[in-house]
Amino acid sequence: MNLKPAEFKKIQTKIYDYCGINLHEGKQALVRSRVMKRIRKLGLQNFAHYLDYLERDSSGEEFLALVDVLTTNKTSFFRENQHFKFIRDNVLPQINGRQVKWWSAGCSTGEEAVSCSIIIRENINPKSVKLLGTDISRDVIKTAKRGVYPAKSVDGVSPKLISKYFRKASEDQYQIAENIRKMITYGRLNLKKKWPLNGPFQVIMCRNVMIYFNRETQQELVARFREILEPGGYLFLGHSESIASADRSFENISPAVYRKK
């Protein structure tokens, strides 16, 4: 089943206009394989029929399904562990006894938000904790809200933390403990649209998200993060991401860690 250049261009434009994700030419094979899943599920014959179906779907449900299949959601508990060591040693001592307000932007299935909750609970005694996890994909937010993960996903987590914060849901699944789940609120959010969020946040984690945007969208996103971070607040990015040196409102204080001046 061939994906013609004009068909790829239509999908590329629709996704970019909606959420800013840049499906450049090198993503054509990925788009083809993922959209074919929708074509088969709907019983359609080719990409032309699928695009026609997409246009005729007045409910908008198929477009959201398209967004779900085209977003990448790789994550794990305590991923890029040096960030969590930095949080433990440098961030948490500053906010002990205060209300904690953090945002995991692009939270995927919730492992990052859960990891943040665990490290907070292990190291400080906050006044209260409000941890927000958002993602554009409906599928991953459903998983995050359930808080049930394959047993293999906790392979890199210490036995001590597993015993304290995970419960065996079945032979091959773990459920996040209730005292961790109640610290987190999950919701679907398109980073390109209006943010119905109340800041300021002390920490925003947006790791391995901006790589899917072009430079202009990245700069817009960083400017918006700056507005809802408290002075001295921290922005965590993925290790292949950075803030343009022209943005002097942040200082780079550790690999992929930026502090608002």
- The two counts, helices (H) then strands (E), for the chain are 11, 10
pLDDT at 236: 97
Cα angle 135-198-226, degrees, rounded to a multiple of 5? 75
Per-residue pLDDT at 247:
67
| pLDDT reported for residue 248 | 82
- The residues near 24 (Cβ < 8 Å, ≥ 6 apart) are none
Bridge-based pairing state of the strands 148-150 and 173-176: antiparallel
Asked if 174 and 204 count as a contact pair (C-beta separation under 8 A), the reply is no
Concatenated DSSP letters for 66-134? Answer: HHHHHS-----TT-SHHHHHHIIIIIHHHHTTSEEEEEEET-TTTHHHHHHHHHHHHH---SEEEEEEE
Asked if residues 104 and 79 have their Cβ atoms less than 8 Å apart, the reply is no
pTM (two decimals):
0.92
Query: Tokens at residue 251, please?
Result: 């200082």
Say if CB 131 and CB 100 are below 8 A apart. Answer: yes
Ordered by where they begin, the domains of the chain are 5-70 (1.10.155.10), 81-260 (3.40.50.150)
Give the mean pLDDT per block of 10 residues along the chain (261 residues).
Answer: 95 96 92 96 97 96 95 90 97 94 97 97 94 96 96 94 95 95 96 92 96 91 95 95 78 95 91
What is the Cα–Cα distance from 139 to 68, expressed in whole angstroms? 7
Specify the pLDDT at position 245: 60
132 forms beta bridges with 103, 185
